[in-house]
Amino acid sequence: MTEVAFHAGLADTLGYACRLLRKAWRQRLRLTVTGPPELLRRLDTQLWVFEPGSFIPHALLGRGQVPASGLEPTPIWLAEEPGKAPPAPVLVNLGSADLAEFSQFERVVELVGADPEDAARGRLRWRMYQAAGITPVLHQGLSGR
């Protein structure tokens, strides 16, 4: 069964995501990140500049796209449709409400910002997992520094 962890109350969700992805890459993990298209584009940009002198290998996969030949080994995929990305054990969700394919991942990490609207959307996703028979774990007030 898929393990689900909520990292909630994040003041800077994209900054936290960058640090989380850097840690995952250093541990040689493969993962897929999903979320609204604009947020994925902003994360793509931030991954290039958030730590001068370093590089976190990743690729952006828009709706309806499939990975280009030769890019399958890329360890981190930013994908509007997580099921279209190459297989990975971990899914990081930046706020997509419809995660029908979450069960194909061993682990899901939900990133939830501190603002009330994001928190409300996070609570809806929490209830979705509970309805699927999963008991999520909550990590609140993380800074990720």
- 57 domain residue, yes or no: yes
Q: Cα separation of 1 and 19, whole Å?
A: 26
Q: What is the CATH number of the domain that holds 18?
A: 3.40.50.10110
- 82 domain residue, yes or no: yes
- 143 domain residue, yes or no: no
- 86 domain residue, yes or no: yes
- 38 domain residue, yes or no: yes
Q: What digits encode the pLDDT tens for the residues 75-132?
A: 999 999 998 899 999 999 998 777 778 899 999 999 999 999 999 999 999 999 999 9
Tally of domains in the chain: 1
* Distance spanning both ends of the chain, measured CA to CA: 30
pTM attached to this predicted model = 0.93
Q: Cα separation of 143 and 11, whole Å?
A: 8
